């Protein structure tokens, strides 16, 4: 059987699923298709032409190389294909974005046939995805006196690839579609349990919201053929929880515009909106695709004569509607006036200035944010090569500099890493900045999309600017099923070849590591001045400043070593009082959210940096706080540490990186060894006093300052999805924080989960110590609910084995993971026993393992979204409540939430995660857990 006949068989299988042919991305199949096109008598010639023209992926896929060089043969007259004239061949090359297509265009432009060279040059003038190998060829030809090369460079120096693009429409008519009420998690747009299909865009598009919703959207499009569908989170924020490029891709697939007639299932320019706007990291993803994100502000708080919000019986503000956006409402977006109007434009509804900043308008015009990044680099290169001054065709970066005002921590980091800003100018929040990226992380359920983005932008090797990059295997660690077996090795090989450190060795030399990506990134971040970009919302390091990002932004950071964003405002978080001995640091995290809401009424963290003055907490423990800031809807967080604490955290990071080196995980470029050297250099700077641990200036300006009162935290706290709240918009948020006494020791718990990136070694030690205590007091331990424990890293398990804790866990476990025979099917039923699962995300990800439908789960994880950890079962709603490790363990043993006396007895003598506000001599507050 040929590859082509296999492909036809696959097409028939997909047709039965309501799907079209999968795009061609492999060289062997592409070659067979081309051979059939050349054979005029071939029975498959017509179909092969269709696949070649309309269904072959562009960029640096191996199929794209075959396509580009076949088009070159046609243009040179070496092959005649009546259906593909030389002019059409040039058009096809213009849609292939870069890589082999640019290589071919340069071959033709710098060749001997002047007519062909001029045609090739005209196409090249529209391209932006050129890399060093391409620009070196142009520069060399120009220096050798080639007039075509000069003509191309002059065009680039004027940025004609951008200036000649059509302007965005002044008026955009939209018809509304309410996707849901309340905050909309990206899981609604791209469910985690469908992560395996994300790189198959058409197939993955079938999982957006629901089949019924998709039919309703299609019906709206038929009813309003000249309008765009705007997807809305009514009474909530759109896109909370993660950047989820696949979510934006799905929205674009159903509501956006086709990017190219010759590239299947790639749409762009979606329009999304929310009563409370768009989640910051999701908004970045919208920009990647040239889309529009809108803050509707269509519901406002009802206020009394005193100007204060009127509260309902539950203590929540009463909202009143300013204007309706019910499904089917036609509205008008004016992109020049930056306003939202009613259908005929007679009534202004809200201001859209934030949606149409000069930079965002450029993204819309160019069709993506990274087309602008590459365009700026290309214009700069051309001007430097020609020796002419740069007259940027792009909106000047906004530079905010306030004389006499100090810098927050994030402002210091951005200023230190800024690229292309006015020399000597100190920048404050609100400035638009290109920054160098130090560390990049790609995770396994978005990694294949990142690989696609890298291929689409014609990147072949990691930027030398990046200090370290890691490809994880944690999101698919739980079950080594057919989907994981098909996707993971392919992903690891691509990323290994690209230059990343990979969790799985494509050559099979070192043991596969499924450590949670955020833990690994936290270790390989070896400076408090670093900028980190990662393909997951929980890219929140306790060193440096880290931003969760979509797969496209991750790809851009890998390819260019840069990112572009405004410097965010900061909220300062400090602590007072003393933490009670029976409390765990996780309760401090919950209390921060609760006390902030009490102090301000609104979530002042949303879209901003949380600058937490953590002082004496080591990196692993501090990560518990920074990790949670994703659920606080913060843009990112920064830990302000004491010098000695930071040094100790860096020494721990060094030891863990060395373990990775000892396992054989370093690559030919010696990335891991280089990180150890960077850590040593940073430690030396701190010890010598040359550059102490990062701290803000005394006269820095903050959007708000939150002081957390540790004395007020006297019982464990639970983040509750509040699934029965009569106000739909209040369900499944992370804002409902309740003390355990609220539940009266009566709330049934069906499953406990200790795992995800929110736990560290100390948490697993707590599990072991609680089992010891109960065994001593009762003679045995029995569980009234299953308890699933997934350590975040193999290092932790190794250390627990050495310290005698793993032996205790094994004694009470009914299941222990076995890497030599990993699970091939997901668990669907649980017994009332302890499960020791493979390091990784496990239940928190929700794409493989899940709790039983309708269960009430108490977990240490971060996700309480509808359907993530647990799905509904008819009328029985699934709940994922979040708490500290001791609360989760005790609840699994009791089968219910404990009362405060039961809790205090259970944790007596256990070394919980300790914390105290920074002092002059801080290290006496550290616990042994790291």
CB-based burial label for 727 (10 Å; 0-12, 13-18, 19+): middle
911-918 mean pLDDT: 79
CA 192 to CA 186: how far, in whole Å? 9
Give tens-digit pLDDT for 338-376: 999 999 999 999 999 999 999 999 999 999 988 998 999
pLDDT over 90 at 771, yes or no: yes
Give tens-digit pLDDT for 459-513: 999 999 999 999 999 998 999 988 888 889 999 999 999 999 999 998 888 988 8
How many Cα neighbours within 13 Å face the side chain of 660?
30
Phi-psi group of 895: left, alpha or beta (phi > 0 → left; psi -120 to 50 → alpha; rest → beta):
left
CA 850 to CA 458: how far, in whole Å? 38
CA 656 to CA 524: how far, in whole Å? 8
pLDDT over 60 at 455, yes or no: yes
Structure tokens at 301: 């708080």
Give tens-digit pLDDT for 563-602: 988 999 999 999 999 999 999 999 999 999 999 999 998 8
Dihedral, CA of residue 83, residue 86, residue 91 and residue 93, to nearest 10: 110
Flag the least confident range among 1-5, 178-182, 883-887: 1-5
Please tell me the predicted confidence (pLDDT) of residue 630: 83
Give tens-digit pLDDT for 684-696: 999 999 999 999 9
Structure tokens at 576: 């007072």
Nearest to 174 by CA among 222, 223, 224, 233: 224
HEC-encoded secondary structure of 636-692: EEEEEECHHHHHHHHHHHHHHHHHHHHCCCCCCCCHHHHHHHHHHHHHHHHHHCCCC
pLDDT over 70 at 827, yes or no: yes
The three-point CA angle 698-703-709 to 5° equals 75
CA 464 to CA 486: how far, in whole Å? 30
pLDDT over 90 at 18, yes or no: yes
Please tell me the predicted confidence (pLDDT) of residue 919: 64
Sign of the torsion angle spanned by Cα atoms 313, 318, 324, 326: negative
Please tell me the predicted confidence (pLDDT) of residue 683: 98
Give tens-digit pLDDT for 861-913: 988 888 889 999 988 999 999 999 999 999 999 999 999 999 999 998 888 87
Dihedral, CA of residue 497, residue 498, residue 503 and residue 507, to nearest 10: 0
pLDDT level of residue 216 (50, 70, 90 thresholds)? very high
CA distances from 653 to 138, 356, 547 (A): 44, 42, 20
Please tell me the predicted confidence (pLDDT) of residue 305: 87
Name residues whose C-beta falls within 8 Å of residue 299's C-beta, 6 or more positions apart in sequence. 235, 275, 319, 320, 321, 322
Q: Strand 636-641 to strand 545-548: parallel, antiparallel, or no bridges (unpaired)?
A: unpaired
Give tens-digit pLDDT for 788-813: 999 999 999 999 999 999 999 999 99
Nearest to 358 by CA among 316, 323, 394, 385: 394
pLDDT over 60 at 924, yes or no: no
Give tens-digit pLDDT for 743-758: 999 999 999 999 988 8
Nearest to 648 by CA among 342, 356, 930: 930
Flag the least confident range among 256-260, 299-303, 433-437: 299-303
Give tens-digit pLDDT for 642-661: 999 999 999 999 999 999 99
Please tell me the predicted confidence (pLDDT) of residue 918: 74
Give tens-digit pLDDT for 361-415: 999 999 998 899 899 999 999 999 999 999 999 988 889 999 999 999 999 999 9
pLDDT level of residue 1 (50, 70, 90 thresholds)? low
Q: Which residue has the tokens 């032996």?
A: 807
End-to-end Cα spacing for the chain: 56
How many Cα neighbours within 13 Å face the side chain of 508?
0
What pairs with residue 532 in β-bridges?
A: 439, 546
Please tell me the predicted confidence (pLDDT) of residue 347: 96
Sign of the torsion angle spanned by Cα atoms 608, 188, 587, 787: negative
pTM greater than 0.75 (yes/no): yes
pLDDT level of residue 920 (50, 70, 90 thresholds)? very low
Q: Are 149 and 136 in contact (CB under 8 A)?
A: no
CA 410 to CA 669: how far, in whole Å? 30
Please tell me the predicted confidence (pLDDT) of residue 923: 37
Give tens-digit pLDDT for 510-565: 988 899 999 999 999 999 999 999 988 788 899 999 998 888 889 999 999 999 88
pLDDT, averaged across the chain? 92
Q: Annotate 810-868 with DSSP letters as a single string.
A: HHHEEEE--TTS--SS------SSEEEEPSS-GGGT-SS--PPTT-EEEESSS---TTT
Structure tokens at 140: 């060399």
Nearest to 274 by CA among 184, 371, 199: 184
Q: Which helix (H) or strand (E) element contains residue 436?
A: strand 432-436
159-185 mean pLDDT: 96
């Amino acid at each position: 059987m040929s590859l082509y006949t296999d492909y036809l068989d696959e097409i028939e299988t997909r047709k039965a699923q309501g799907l079209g042919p999968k795009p061609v991305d492999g060289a062997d199949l592409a070659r067979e298709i081309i051979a059939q096109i050349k054979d005029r008598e071939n029975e498959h010639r017509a179909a092969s032409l269709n696949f070649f023209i309309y269904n072959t992926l562009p960029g640096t896929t191996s199929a794209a190389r075959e396509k580009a060089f076949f088009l070159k043969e046609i243009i040179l007259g070496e092959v005649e294909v009546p259906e593909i004239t030389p002019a059409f061949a040039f058009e096809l090359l213009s849609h292939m974005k870069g890589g082999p297509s640019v290589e071919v265009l340069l071959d033709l432009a710098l060749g001997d046939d002047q007519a062909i060279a001029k045609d090739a040059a005209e196409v090249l003038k529209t391209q932006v995805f050129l890399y060093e190998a391409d620009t070196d060829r142009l520069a060399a030809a120009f220096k050798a006196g080639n007039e075509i090369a000069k003509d191309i460079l002059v065009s680039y120096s004027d940025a004609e690839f951008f200036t000649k693009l059509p302007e965005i429409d002044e008026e955009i008519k939209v018809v509304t579609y309410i996707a849901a009420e309340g905050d909309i998690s990206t899981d609604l747009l791209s469910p985690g349990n469908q992560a395996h299909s994300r790189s198959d865009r058409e197939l993955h598009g079938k999982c957006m919201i629901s089949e019924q919703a998709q039919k309703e959207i299609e019906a709206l499009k038929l009813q309003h053929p000249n309008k765009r569908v705007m997807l809305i989170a009514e009474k909530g924020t759109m896109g909370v929880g993660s950047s989820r490029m696949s979510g934006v891709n799905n929205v674009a697939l159903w509501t956006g515009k086709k990017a190219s007639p010759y590239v299947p299932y790639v749409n762009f320019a979606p329009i999304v909106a929310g009563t409370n706007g768009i989640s910051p990291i999701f908004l970045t993803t919208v920009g990647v695709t040239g889309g529009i994100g809108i803050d509707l502000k269509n519901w406002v708080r009802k206020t009394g004569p005193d100007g204060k919000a009127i509260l309902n019986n539950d203590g929540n503000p009463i909202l009143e509607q300013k204007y309706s956006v019910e499904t089917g409402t036609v509205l008008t977006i004016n992109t020049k006036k930056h306003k939202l109007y009613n259908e005929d434009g007679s009534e202004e509804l809200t201001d859209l200035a934030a949606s149409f900043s000069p930079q965002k308008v450029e993204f819309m015009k160019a069709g993506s944010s990274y087309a602008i990044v590459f365009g700026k680099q290309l214009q700069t290169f051309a001007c430097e090569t020609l020796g002419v001054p740069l007259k940027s065709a792009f909106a000047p970066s906004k530079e905010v500099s306030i004389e006499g005002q100090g810098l927050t921590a994030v402002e210091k980091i951005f200023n230190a890493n800024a690229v292309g800003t006015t020399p000597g100018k100190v920048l404050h929040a609100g400035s638009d900045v290109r920054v160098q990226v130090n560390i990049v992380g790609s995770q396994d359920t978005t990694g294949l999309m990142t690989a696609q983005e890298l291929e689409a932008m014609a990147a072949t090797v990691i930027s030398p600017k990046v200090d370290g990059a890691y490809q994880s295997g944690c999101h698919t660690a739980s079950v080594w099923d057919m989907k994981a077996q098909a996707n993971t090795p392919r992903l690891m090989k691509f990323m290994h070849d690209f230059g990343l450190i990979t969790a799985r060795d494509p050559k099979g030399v070192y043991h596969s590591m499924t450590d949670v990506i955020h833990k690994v990134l936290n270790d390989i971040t070896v400076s408090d001045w670093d900028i980190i970009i990662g393909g997951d919302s929980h890219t929140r390091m306790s060193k440096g400043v880290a931003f969760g990002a979509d797969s496209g932004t991750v790809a851009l950071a890998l390819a260019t070593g840069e990112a572009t964003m405004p410097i965010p405002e900061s909220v300062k978080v400090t602590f007072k009082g003393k933490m009670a001995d029976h409390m765990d640091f996780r309760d401090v995290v919950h209390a921060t959210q609760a006390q902030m809401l009490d102090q301000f009424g609104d979530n002042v963290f949303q879209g901003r940096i949380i600058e937490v003055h953590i002082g004496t907490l080591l990196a692993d423990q501090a990560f518990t706080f920074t990790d949670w800031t994703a659920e606080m809807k913060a843009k990112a967080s920064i830990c302000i540490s004491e010098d000695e604490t930071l040094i100790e955290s860096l020494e721990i990071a060094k030891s863990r990186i060395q373990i990775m080196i000892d396992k054989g995980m370093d690559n030919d470029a010696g990335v891991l060894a280089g990180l150890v050297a960077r850590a040593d250099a940073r430690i030396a700077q701190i010890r010598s006093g040359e550059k102490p641990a990062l701290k803000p200036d005394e006269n820095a300006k903050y959007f708000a300052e939150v002081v957390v009162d540790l004395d007020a935290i006297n019982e464990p706290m639970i983040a509750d999805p509040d699934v029965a709240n009569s106000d739909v918009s209040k369900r499944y948020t992370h804002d409902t924080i309740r003390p355990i006494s609220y539940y009266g020791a009566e709330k049934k718990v069906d499953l406990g989960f200790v795992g995800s990136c929110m736990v560290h070694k100390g948490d697993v030690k707590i599990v072991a110590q609680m089992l010891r205590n109960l065994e001593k007091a009762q003679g045995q331990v029995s569980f009234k609910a299953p308890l699933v424990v997934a350590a975040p890293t193999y290092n932790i398990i190794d250390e627990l084995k050495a310290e005698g804790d793993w032996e205790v866990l094994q004694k009470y476990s009914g299941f222990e993971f076995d890497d030599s025979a990993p699970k091939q099917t997901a668990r669907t039923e649980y017994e009332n026993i302890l499960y020791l699962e493979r390091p990784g995300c496990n239940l928190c990800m929700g794409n493989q393992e899940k709790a039983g439908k309708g269960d009430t789960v108490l977990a240490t994880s971060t996700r309480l979204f509808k359907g993530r950890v647990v799905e509904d079962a008819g009328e029985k709603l699934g709940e994922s409540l979040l708490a500290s490790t001791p609360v989760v363990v005790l609840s699994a043993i009791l089968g219910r939430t404990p009362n405060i006396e039961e809790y205090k007895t259970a944790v007596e003598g256990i070394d919980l995660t300790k914390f105290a506000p920074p002092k002059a001599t801080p290290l006496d507050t550290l616990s042994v857990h790291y």
